[in-house]
Amino acid sequence: MTAGPVRKVVVIGGGTAGWMAALPLAKLRTVGGAGLEVTLVESAEIGTIGVGEATLPPIRAYNATLGLDPVEFLRKTRATFKLGIEFCDWRRPGHRFFHGFGDFGPPLGQVDAFSCWLRHRAPDDTSSYEDWSMATEVARRNRFAPPDSDPRSPLGAYSYAFHFDAGLYAAFLREQAEQAGVTRVEGTVTEVALRPADGFVSAVTLSDGRRIEGDLFVDCSGQRALLIGQTLRVGYEDWSAQLPCNGAWAVPSESAAQLTPFTRSTARSAGWQWRIPLQHRIGNGMVFASDFIGKEAAREELLQGLDTPALADPRLINFTTGRRHRVWERNVVAIGLSSGFLEPLESTAIQLIIDGVGRLIELFPDTSFAPALAAEYNRRMHRQYESIRDFIVLHYKLTQRDDTPFWRHCAAMPIPDTLAHQIDLFRSSGRVAIYDPESFRESSWISLFMGLGAVPAHHDPQADALPPNVLAEYARRVRATVVASADSLPEHAAYIHRQLGTPAT
């Protein structure tokens, strides 16, 4: 059979993943000068998971590439700005650190800022490397403005992402996708037809008998994994041994007096609690490991830990951390929760959706579905999943907490060899191994290591050649610039009101 173009794409699922996949496929990919015919099927009966409110900086490029209007986005999704994550009680109770997005000051000649800081620090010094992070300093002041586009400016040395209402974001994308020609079908898929010759999916049938045919199927059906799991039987690799949390209670609460430009993650007795401020409410949740705490006790701990009154009853979501053995199988590509889930810490699921869609567009097949394309897609997604897994496991593994069975378990649990190497490398030399250039950058790894108290024994020897007075003057200048620059920015809430043209309250 000769290969032809893939024209008909069917997306199963209308959650964040479904709409984040449908819109770029319709807008950015053409076949013979014409757009793809994209149909999205979603089931009102089944609904969506309805969480996923914090993002990472590449969401900005995703929105911009699709031509989404930034102010309309802000208004319609009730978004706020995110400069990073504040981690409370992770190293030990009462300790805080910040993972800010962006860099830590300019290099001094050939020597990077981190090596300079390590060299400059006196042995009994209690100052923090965070003091050189623009994002951290701006967040401490509850301020925000977008970074300067000139990377040489101190105000160009940080990055940001968003917090938004996941349901409103999906609705916003749906509006755009329908304008771009995506056909939305409401209904529940009850049957999947496979071609007898090769086992490729040829069509899905809805409960009312409607049949939808396609060349390529994108499985965005969430944890059900209707096509990749239930139909094609691609197995799931369970990572619970290294990521033991498997449940979450989610609850909205009233807004607080200060609109903070960061996510807060607070370690609790058998997991951790998130706090995500939106324009109109705060999203909260308790992520917990059911081997170490009962679900009612976890719910109670969440409610006790809220800083504003709850607006609804908490909702329970169960999950298993891990990933599919293959996320592209025959003519099915799994994107979103159907492809895997690494738990919400560090907000990586939407990032994996963005990269999953981007790679599908880049490696888009014809009807021959060359196995090498699927193999390359699977290779890249696997590498990213593993790199993110290591980053998340590090939060638990390096804890100094030993106050509950859960934290003692985390400190003692076996870790992947790649992460063991990463920890050895950092502890001995201050260097970081980047296994996946599309995942967390060196500055993020350093933030985390330092926040968790893993200070390197050695640094780049080039820093030893720097005279102490030159280093001292450089350190003074970096800190003074960070403080002065952060002071020059507006309040986070005031910046949002200015963008929306609404009066500050």
Ligand X SMILES: Cc1cc2nc3c(=O)[nH]c(=O)nc-3n(C[C@H](O)[C@H](O)[C@H](O)COP(=O)(O)OP(=O)(O)OC[C@H]3O[C@@H](n4cnc5c(N)ncnc54)[C@H](O)[C@@H]3O)c2cc1C
CA distance 42 to 471: 59
CA distances from 182 to 13, 84, 176, 257 (A): 13, 34, 9, 41
- Nearer Cβ to ligand X (115/351): 351
Give min distance, CB of 163 to ligand X, in A. Answer: 8
Check if 8 is active-site.
Answer: no
Instruction: Using CB under 6 A, pick the residue from 6, 15, 99, 161 that binds ligand X.
Output: 15
Q: What is the dihedral of CA 137, 142, 146, 147, to 10 degrees?
A: -10
**Span from 13-21, 88-96, 366-374, 475-483 in contact with ligand X (CB under 6 A):** 13-21
Q: How many residues bind ligand X (CB under 6 A)?
A: 38
Q: Which of 27, 82, 295, 397 is catalytic?
A: 82
For residues 161 and 57, the answer to whether their CB atoms sit within 8 Å is: yes
Pick from 100, 102, 285, 314 the residue near ligand X by CB under 6 A.
285
Pick between residue 138 and residue 220 the one whose CB is nearest to ligand X: 220
Q: Is 311 in the site for ligand X (CB under 6 A)?
A: no
Give which of 339, 362, 333 is closest to 351, Cα–Cα: 339
**Secondary structure (3-state) at 499:** helix
Measured CA to CA in angstroms, residue 352 lies from 58, 207, 303, 446 at distances of 10, 31, 30, 22
Asked if 136 is part of the footprint of ligand X (rule: CB under 6 A), the reply reads: no
By CB under 6 A, residue 347 contacts ligand X: yes
Identify the residue among 344, 365, 430, 456 touching ligand X (CB under 6 A): 344
Sites for ligand X among residues 477-496 (CB under 6 A): none
**319 vs 435, beta carbon nearer ligand X:** 319
Contact 62, 206 (CB under 8 A): no
Residues 36-75 that bind ligand X (CB under 6 A): 41-43, 46-49, 51-55
**Shortest reach from residue 471's CB to ligand X, in Å:** 39
Least distance CB 359 / ligand X (angstroms) = 16
Candidate list 6, 9, 10, 18; residue touching ligand X; CB under 6 A: 18
Q: Is residue 229 within the footprint of ligand X (CB under 6 A)?
A: no
Q: What whole-number distance in Å separates Cα of residue 225 and Cα of residue 322?
A: 13
3-state secondary structure at position 72: helix
Enumerate residues 6+ apart whose C-beta is below 8 A from 502: none
Query: Which H or E run includes 264?
Result: strand 263-268
Binding to ligand X by residue 336, rule CB under 6 A?
Answer: yes
**In the complex, least distance from residue 76 CB atom to ligand X, rounded to whole angstroms:** 17
Phi then psi for residue 404, to 5 deg, are: -140, 160
Cβ nearer to ligand X, comparing 133 with 284: 284
* Residue 141 or 224 with smaller CB distance to ligand X: 224
Please enumerate in sequence order all residues whose Cβ is within 8 A of that of 315, keeping only pairs 6 or more positions apart, or say none: 50, 249, 250, 251
Nearer to ligand X, 18 or 105 (CB): 18
| Segment interacting with ligand X (CB under 6 A) among 9-17, 135-143, 308-316, 423-431 | 9-17
189 counts as binding ligand X under rule CB under 6 A: yes
- Kindly state whether residue 261 participates in binding ligand X, applying the rule CB under 6 A: no
CA of residue 324 relative to chain centroid, distance: 18
Tell me the C-alpha distance between 326 and 446, whole Å.
Answer: 31
| 378 in Cβ contact with 237 (< 8 Å) | no
Among 10, 14, 167, 262, binds ligand X (CB under 6 A): 14
- Compare residues 337 and 432 and give the one whose CB is closer to ligand X: 337
What is the CB neighbour count within 10 angstroms for residue 63?
Answer: 19
| Both structure tokens of 32 | 């013979």
Active site residues: 82
Residues that bind ligand X (CB under 6 A): 12-18, 41-43, 46-49, 51-55, 166, 188-189, 220-222, 224, 226, 248, 250, 285, 317, 319, 336-337, 344, 347, 349-350
